[in-house]
A = this chain, B = another copy of it.
Amino acid sequence: MSTYHHGDLRAALLKGAGKALEKQGITALSLRDAARRAGVSHNAPYRHFADRDALLAALAAEGFRMLGEALRGKPGRARGEAYVRFALEHPQRFRLMFGGLLPLARHPELREAASRAYQGLVDAWKDMPDPQIAAAAAWSLVHGLAQLLLDGHFASQAADRDVFVARVLGAVRLAQRAA
């Protein structure tokens, strides 16, 4: 037993990889680096993750749980602002979650975590005549805003980000009845 470095190598790998992710970005995130951070051979991670994608998917699923947590209980526009804040506070995690490197179809754990986070959004619109559509519109708006802010497309206009976000979200009304 003393030859085993970790009681929970899987958790140690995720922690190290999470650090590497935010510091260096997705591209620089390697299995070998995660193994190094955990103090094991470059091959040990394969006991816990089938391949590099499986590690990325686990990190992304963590991200969806973090996002769901950040949104929980927030009403109306505050929820949208919390969504944007999450993206800006965890830029690389957000990109990993939505960068399309991990097709949901191939990662059931990820699909599960994502739809759980999304469910909170749907519930908030359940009194509308068309809650699915309203929720999709609301999610699209805040997601697009977060992504474009992150990429710097609104840099020139967003001297004060919080004000800019509030104004954009405030400019939109969801119709009572879809066209």
Residues of chain B within 8 A (CB-CB) of A141 are: 137, 140-141, 144, 172
User: Which chain A residues in 97-113 approach chain B with CB under 8 Å?
Assistant: 98-101, 103-105, 111
A143 contacts B136, C-beta separation under 8 Å: no
Q: Is A89 an interface residue (CB 8 A)?
A: no
Q: Does A179 contact B (CB under 8 A)?
A: yes
Q: Which of B100, B114, B157 contacts A132 (CB 8 A)?
A: B157
Q: Mark A151-167, 1 if CB is under 8 A from B, else 0.
A: 11111010000001011
- Residue picked from A140, A154, A172, A173, most chain B C-beta under 10 Å: A140
In the complex the two chains form, what is the Cα distance from A174 to B168 in whole Å? Answer: 10
Across the interface, which residues of B come within 8 angstroms of A25, CB to CB?
101
A153 and B100 in contact, given A137-B172, A145-B136, A172-B173 (Cβ under 8 angstroms): no
Known contacts A141-B141, A143-B144, A151-B104; is A178 also within 8 Å of B173 by CB?
A: no
B105 lies within 8 A of A152 (CB) = yes
Q: Min CB distance, A167 to chain B, in Å?
A: 5
